[in-house]
Amino acid sequence: MPHLEIDGKPVEVPAGTNLIEAAKRLNIEIPHYCYHPGLAVVGSCRMCQVEVELNGRKSIVVGCNTAAADGMKVFNSTEAIHRIRSGVLEFYLQHHPLDCPICDDAGECDLQNYYLLHGLHDSRVELAEKRHKHKVHDVGPTVVLDSERCVLCSRCVRFCREIAGVDELGIFEHGGDSELLNVPDKLLENDYAGNVVDLCPVGALTDKDFRFKRRVWYLKRTPSVCTGCSRGCSIYMDWETSRSYKNPQRRIQRLKPRYNRDVNEWWICDRGRYSYHAVDAGNRLTAPRTKSEGESATTVDAVLDRAASKIKAALSKHGPKSVAVIASAASSNEDLFLLKRLFADELKVHSLDVTLSGEPKGKEDEILMKADLTANRRGAVEIAVQPWGGGGVAGDDILAGALDGDYEVLIVVQHDLTRILSQKERNRLGQNCEYILYLGTHENGMCHLADDVIPIAMWAEREATGTNFQGRVQRTWRPFEPRGEVLCEWRVWQELGKRLGHALPAESVADVFDSIGAAIASFKGLTWEGIPPTGIMLTGVSEPPYRKVQSSRPLPAY
Ligand code: SF4
Ligand code: SF4
Ligand code: FES
């Protein structure tokens, strides 16, 4: 482990650590454009130059491509270094357009930031003399390029080649004519394309989805976890709700990857990145629905009362075999735990499962994406929301039984059965089931098939935990309240339990999680307060070995 000094401060780092990373440990920033810890080092931008002294010799080196050495002294803020950085910046800015007032990257641009810290020079190039390159150039379905803003750092090129394993972007021509562009006849359309926008240190690559929507200084940031598939990538939710003249329906403005070494490193897929649109989609359910009161409005309380009385009647007439629950692996650990408590432990309902063979599947690859589009199937398995006891009935059999009239009451969470059943089968289900209660987030066929509908919160509107496919328990935070009469699912089970004479005491989601920690072996010892921001493995499940998140067929850096 080399010991070195940076600006007079001692630090010890693992062998092979470069000077940019060594300085980070001391909260010292060595400015850089081309270096990114997830990509190959190319040392092309020259912004990271520092002075080093080793064995009595002084030299200027690039921090990204110089490994820390024992006894090394690094100088990051000398007059010479300031002059070098200022010169590099002047070089980058001489033909840079005066776009800041309309550039999406303003406020988080490393040209702006470094100019204020290391530049502050006056331009020696007249506006009329600036070179012009492609502007508003469509590089793919989700990303726009402004070539004049590009500093040719090649991060986007390396990301496509090394992480996504595709050859979609390249730097063409020479000298002042050099330009980032699409590889001929290719579009930037890989499943991870949005990451190039995060990587671009300037406003050259911008996201069509976010472009001109909000100035970044109005955004508030809340850590969260993507629920787009069973990987559960760590994300930031950037949201803003106060500027109502700007599409008040859109609360989340964008999702960004949050570094998690053991899940997604610096990246997310585009399926997850744009999944937030569902939260404020026009077809979100925000009020309960009922068939029994015709078109007239109902309340959540009225629906819960009716559901409780239907369940009571079924249980007293035909016993627990007359009630079935098709729950959802998209629900949180807390939702599933209270559901299991109420239906399996208290009411002794055996027909309880989260899985249906007709569930939609997604694309899977070796980078991040999983085919299972639910975030918490592992949690459901651990909490045992699955066929249980001798008479346990699996999801597909519950559905078949419901069609045959085996159940008086059928409760469905999130599954749109109308996408699985034919019209004839839907009619049969409606006729053969005395009462269907649906808990969902969006308007769909179930809203017409079910007798009652309760709207439930989505991931962005609730605090909750999920367990990803590896067995990692991660939590979400709640930046804003759900709209309308939307309830968290665990509250629905708690309220229903009250009406059925089975109290499920919990004041908060933290209480429910702590009860899971006390009751379920694989959660033993876990507490709400003890969940780190990057998650924690289930008790007795070992951390999977580190793997670099990237294509199994990476292309080399140029
Ligand atoms: S577009 Fe951005 S990320 Fe790509 S080379 Fe230019 S500055 Fe770098
Ligand atoms: S891989 Fe899955 S969890 Fe990760 S960003 Fe994509 S959809 Fe979300
Ligand atoms: S970051 Fe070192 S040369 Fe670009």
CATH of the domain at 56: 3.10.20.740
Ligand 2 centre to CA of 16 (Å) is 31
Rounded Cα–Cα distance for residues 191 and 270 (Å):
6
Q: Are 153 and 33 in contact (CB under 8 A)?
A: yes
135 and 273 in a single domain? The answer is yes
45 and 148 in a single domain? The answer is no
Cβ count within 10 A of residue 51: 17
CATH of the domain at 133: 3.30.70.20
Tell me the ligand closest to 197's alpha carbon. 1
> pLDDT over 90 for what percent of the chain?
91
- The rounded mean pLDDT for the chain is 95
Classify 306 as helix, strand or coil: helix
Any domain includes 144: yes
190 and 323 in a single domain? The answer is no
341 and 273 in a single domain? The answer is no
156 and 17 in a single domain? The answer is no
Interior angle at CA 2, CA 25 and CA 30, nearest 5: 35
Residue 296 pLDDT exceeds 90: no
Element (H, E) at 431: helix 423-432
Rounded Cα–Cα distance for residues 88 and 96 (Å):
13
Interior angle at CA 484, CA 481 and CA 489, nearest 5: 65
Please state the atom number of ligand 1 nearest to the C-alpha of residue 145: 1
Q: Is 269 in the pocket of ligand 3 (CB under 6 A)?
A: no
Q: Is 233 in the pocket of ligand 2 (CB under 6 A)?
A: yes
CATH of the domain at 329: 3.40.50.740
Any domain includes 113: no
Per-residue pLDDT, averaged over 361-382, amounts to 97
Q: Is 48 in the pocket of ligand 3 (CB under 6 A)?
A: yes
Tell me what pLDDT residue 123 has: 82
Residues contacting 30, CB < 8 A, separation 6+: 19, 20, 23, 48, 50, 63, 76
Confidence of residue 297 (pLDDT cuts 50, 70, 90): confident
Q: Is 226 in the pocket of ligand 2 (CB under 6 A)?
A: yes
Cβ count within 10 A of residue 48: 26
251 and 328 in a single domain? The answer is no
Ligand 3 centre to CA of 65 (Å) is 8
Rounded Cα–Cα distance for residues 143 and 178 (Å):
20
Classify 95 as helix, strand or coil: coil
Tell me what pLDDT residue 344 has: 95
Residue, of 49 and 241, whose pLDDT is higher: 49
Tell me what pLDDT residue 512 has: 98
Strand 409-413 vs strand 351-353: parallel, antiparallel, or unpaired? unpaired
Tell me the ligand closest to 146's alpha carbon. 1
396 and 519 in a single domain? The answer is yes
- The sign of the torsion formed by the CA atoms of 381, 332, 191, 64 equals negative
Any domain includes 89: no
Please state the atom number of ligand 3 nearest to the C-alpha of residue 45: 4
Cβ count within 10 A of residue 555: 16
Rounded Cα–Cα distance for residues 480 and 490 (Å):
18
Per-residue pLDDT, averaged over 60-65, amounts to 98
Q: Is 412 in the pocket of ligand 3 (CB under 6 A)?
A: no
Q: Is 62 in the pocket of ligand 3 (CB under 6 A)?
A: yes
Closest to 22 measured CA to CA, from 37, 44, 34: 37
Residue range of the domain that includes 9: 3-77
Rounded Cα–Cα distance for residues 48 and 30 (Å):
6
Closest residue CA from atom 8 of ligand 2: 272
Tell me the ligand closest to 169's alpha carbon. 1
Strand 137-138 vs strand 143-145: parallel, antiparallel, or unpaired? antiparallel
Q: Is 365 in the pocket of ligand 2 (CB under 6 A)?
A: no
Any domain includes 161: yes
Strand 323-326 vs strand 409-413: parallel, antiparallel, or unpaired? parallel
Per-residue pLDDT, averaged over 466-489, amounts to 97
Strand 435-440 vs strand 409-413: parallel, antiparallel, or unpaired? parallel
Please state the atom number of ligand 1 nearest to the C-alpha of residue 171: 5
Q: Which residues pair with 438 in a beta bridge?
A: 412, 453
Q: Is 493 in the pocket of ligand 3 (CB under 6 A)?
A: no
Confidence of residue 493 (pLDDT cuts 50, 70, 90): very high
Ligand 2 centre to CA of 290 (Å) is 35
Residue with tokens 């070195």: 4
Residues with CB under 6 A from ligand 1: 150-156, 180, 199-202, 204-205
Residue 389 pLDDT exceeds 70: no
Q: Are 178 and 171 in contact (CB under 8 A)?
A: yes
376 and 465 in a single domain? The answer is yes
Q: Is 85 in the pocket of ligand 3 (CB under 6 A)?
A: no
496 and 365 in a single domain? The answer is yes
Per-residue pLDDT, averaged over 452-459, amounts to 98
Q: What is the pTM of this model?
A: 0.95
Any domain includes 148: yes
Classify 110 as helix, strand or coil: helix
Classify 519 as helix, strand or coil: helix
* Number of helices and strands in the chain (H, E): 14, 22
Q: Is 472 in the pocket of ligand 2 (CB under 6 A)?
A: no
Q: Are 350 and 386 in contact (CB under 8 A)?
A: no
Tell me the ligand closest to 204's alpha carbon. 1
How many domains, the chain?
3
Q: Are 228 and 528 in contact (CB under 8 A)?
A: no
59 and 199 in a single domain? The answer is no
Any domain includes 95: no
Task: Read off the DSSP letter of residue 533.
Answer: T
388 and 517 in a single domain? The answer is yes
Residue 77 pLDDT exceeds 80: yes
For residue range 88-138, list pLDDT tens digits in order.
Answer: 999 999 999 989 999 999 999 999 999 999 878 888 888 888 889 999 999
Any domain includes 554: no
272 and 349 in a single domain? The answer is no
Rounded Cα–Cα distance for residues 497 and 178 (Å):
67
Any domain includes 557: no
